[in-house]
Amino acid sequence: METKPPLVAEEERKLALIPGAEPSTYMDPWWWLVILAVALALVLIFTQPDYQSIFHFILPGIKITASVTFASYFLMLIVGMIGALGRLSKNFIFHGLSSLYVEIVRGIPLLVQLIIWYYVVPSVIQKIGNDTGIGFLMNYRANPLIMAVVGLTFCYGAYMSEIFRAGIQSIPKGQMEAARSLGMSYFQAMRHIILPQAIRVVLPPVGNEFVSLLKDSSLVSVVAVADMTRRGQEYMATHFNPIPVWLFVALMYLILTLFSSRLVSWLEKRTRFER
């Protein structure tokens, strides 16, 4: 039987005394809810012809929902980081524009923003084309999928800016002062010292934003994007059976959000400071 060195055993004993840092071999019990939801969906699909038909019809919508969510999430991380650095910047113009963006976007509902991006922005572009005589602007037509991603990114980027800003400000000022005293520039200190620590701090809220974004992606159905919600509406309008359609659509969203939440929880445990 292999025995651990005394120093290793002592370190593990000390680690176990830290609340939340003790090693655990148990699976997160909430994974059982994910398994239960998936099992229920499979039972309905393989035993009920109506649900099987619904699943095959909304399957392309599930792919669209996932694509919109992942694309928007990736872009909103970039927008959020730029916005956060702008809010912390000492440059009056950069700080002012970033603050104005955050305050305005957070005050307008996401649904209204999506409608503006899909209906208002193309009309403005076409009007500019008519006034200037530029042909491609006159004939501009909005791509629903692109506008949906832009709208979600623009809205959630404002919330992500505040999350990143709070995370950066949570790092002690002495970290920046120490980095500058070693000869680093401001951007080098942010890249190598501050941001790596801030990312670990903001990981839980950033992960939760992904779950919120996944649910709010259902709003893109109002701007002609054939996501899961839109496909459910189309199927219901054809077969006039709202109960099984919306119960199954709700179950699909539940599976996606539960699975995402468990992954976020796992990442939190892997990156928490006690480790």
For the segment 60-69, what is each residue's pLDDT rounded down to a tens digit?
999 999 999 9
pLDDT at 191 over 80: yes
Residues 6+ apart with CB under 8 A from 229: 61, 65, 218, 221, 249
**pLDDT, position 275:** 42
pLDDT in tens, 132-141: 888 888 888 8
pLDDT in tens, 132-176: 888 888 888 889 999 999 999 999 999 999 999 999 898 888 888
Torsion of the alpha carbons at 249, 250, 253 and 257, rounded to the nearest 10: -170
More confident residue, 182 or 218: 218
Q: Averaged over 47-73, what is the pLDDT?
A: 95
pLDDT band per the 50, 70, 90 thresholds, residue 180: confident
Q: Where are the domains of the chain?
A: 30-271
C-alpha triplet 224, 229, 230: angle, nearest 5°: 30
Q: Averaged over 246-266, what is the pLDDT?
A: 93
pLDDT band per the 50, 70, 90 thresholds, residue 203: confident
- CATH class of the domain comprising 30-271: mainly alpha
**pLDDT, position 9:** 56
Q: What percentage of residues in the chain have a pLDDT greater than 90?
A: 61
* pTM of the predicted structure, to 2 decimals: 0.84
More confident residue, 252 or 202: 252
**pLDDT, position 19:** 47
pLDDT band per the 50, 70, 90 thresholds, residue 26: low
Q: CA-CA distance, 42 to 46, in Å (whole number)? A: 6
More confident residue, 205 or 273: 205
**pLDDT, position 270:** 75
The answer to whether 147 and 117 have CB atoms below 8 angstroms apart is: yes
Residues 6+ apart with CB under 8 A from 170: 198, 201
Lowest-confidence region among 16-30, 32-46, 65-79, 159-173: 16-30
**pLDDT, position 171:** 87
Write the CA distances from 177 to 68, 170, 172, 184, 206, integer angstroms: 41, 15, 9, 10, 27
